[in-house]
Amino acid sequence: QPFNTLFTFTFMRTIAPTLLLVALSAMSVSSSSALIVGGGGSHLTAAQRLALKTTAEQMCQSGKGLTACDEGPATIGSRFEAVGITNSEETRRIYRQMLFTAPGCENYLSGAILDPETLYQKSDEGVLFPELLKSRGILPGVKPHLKIYELPGTNGDTVMQGLDSLSVRCKEYVAAGAVFAKWRSPLVIDTSKGCPTDLAIRANMHDLARYAIICQSEGLVPIVEPDISLSGTHTLEESISINIKVQAELYKSMIDHGVYMEGSTLKPNIVNAGRSCPSSYTVDEIGAANIRVLRDVFPVAMPGANFLSGGQSLTEAAGRLNAMNKAKGNSPWNLSFSWSQALQLPLLDLCKGKGELQLEDMAKLYVEELEVASKAAR
C-alpha cells in the first residue's frame, strides 16, 4: 500500500501533466487542421491549392508588375486611329508582339493580361503568345468579362456581364495557356446621386467573388479588380471611406463564396480625390491614403496588389506607387503596377504623323517606362 500511494503521488506530479500537454497539443493540431481544410478553397485538392498559390506568388514579385494588354479590338483601335494607325487584327498582333518581346522587358514583368483575341495569336515565328511569354518568364493571363450593363434605378451604376458562360470559357483559356484571369468591376463616386449605391457595391463585389471561385475551380488565379473611377468632385477622405466600404464587401463575399485567398490577387484603383475636387493633395498624402485602405481591410493571405493607372500619366502613377511602398512599413503585401494607358499612350505618340507603328523606337521607350515602374514597385 505505501508503494501504491507513492506511485500514485509520483504519477500525478510528473507523468500526468506531461500526458495532459500531449493530449492538448494533439487537440490543437487537430483543430488547426480542421480550420485549414474547412476554410477557403476546401473544394480544391492540395495540389490545386499549391498551384494557385505558387502562381499568385510569382505574379507578386518585388520590382515586377503586369503589363495590361487586354483592350478589345475597338478600344485599342480607337487609340490607333487617334495617331493615324490603321486598326486591323494584324496591326494589333504586331503591336502586342512588340510589347511581349521588347529586349529586357522580362526584367520588369511578372505577367501580361491579354484580350482573348491575343491569347490565340502567334508570333512571327509561329509561337502562340502564351508560350512565347512563358519562355521569357512572363505569366500569361486573360480578360474574361464581357460587356458592361447599367443597373436600372441606380442613377448610372453598372455591372459586368459574362458569369453565365465563364466556366466554359475558362476551360478554353487554360487549354490555350493562360494561368490567371482578371475581371474588372467599375464604379463611380457621385455623392450628389448617391453613387455608388449599396446595391451596385453588393452586386459587383458578389460578381467578383463568383468569378474568382469559378476561375480557381478551373485552374486560373483570379485577379479581382474593383475599379473606382477618378472622375468626380469627391475628396480624398471621401474616397478612402468608399474604397474601404467597397473592398470590405469584396473580401467578405470572397470568403463567403469559399475563395482560396492565397491563390488570388488584387488590382485596385489608386485611392485619390476626384479629378474635379477643389482640394489638392500631396503624393505622400495619396500614398498614405492607399495604405490606410489596405491596412483596414486587405487580407494578409493575399500576396499582393497591382494598381491600375486609371488614366494617370506614368509620372503620376509611378510617383504615387512609390509613395505607397515608402509608407507601407511592415505591411506584408507586394505593391506593384498593372498599367495600360500609362505605358502605352506615350508609345503610340511616337507614331503620330508616321502612318505606321514605330516598333523599334516604341520597344526602346517601353522598356525605359517599365524600369521607372519597377523602381516604384520596390
Residues 90-112 pLDDT 10s: 999 999 999 999 999 999 999 99
Closest CA to 144 of 121, 114, 120: 114
Q: What does residue 307 show for φ and ψ, rounded to 5 degrees?
A: -75, 140
The predicted pLDDT at position 13 comes to: 56
Examine residue 196 and say whether the peptide bond preceding it is cis (omega within 30 degrees of 0).
yes
For residue 26, pLDDT beyond 60: no
The predicted pLDDT at position 39 comes to: 75
* 38 — pLDDT class (breaks 50, 70, 90): low
Mean pLDDT of 281-292: 98
Least confident of 21-30, 57-66, 101-110, 230-239: 21-30
DSSP per-residue codes, 93-137: HHHHHHHHHSTTGGGTEEEEEE-HHHHT-B-TTS-BHHHHHHHTT
Query: Are 253 and 209 within 8 A, CB to CB?
Result: yes
For residue 81, pLDDT beyond 70: yes
Catalytic center residues: 225, 267
CA distance 108 to 203: 35
Closest CA to 147 of 75, 205, 212, 195: 75
Mean pLDDT of 175-200: 96
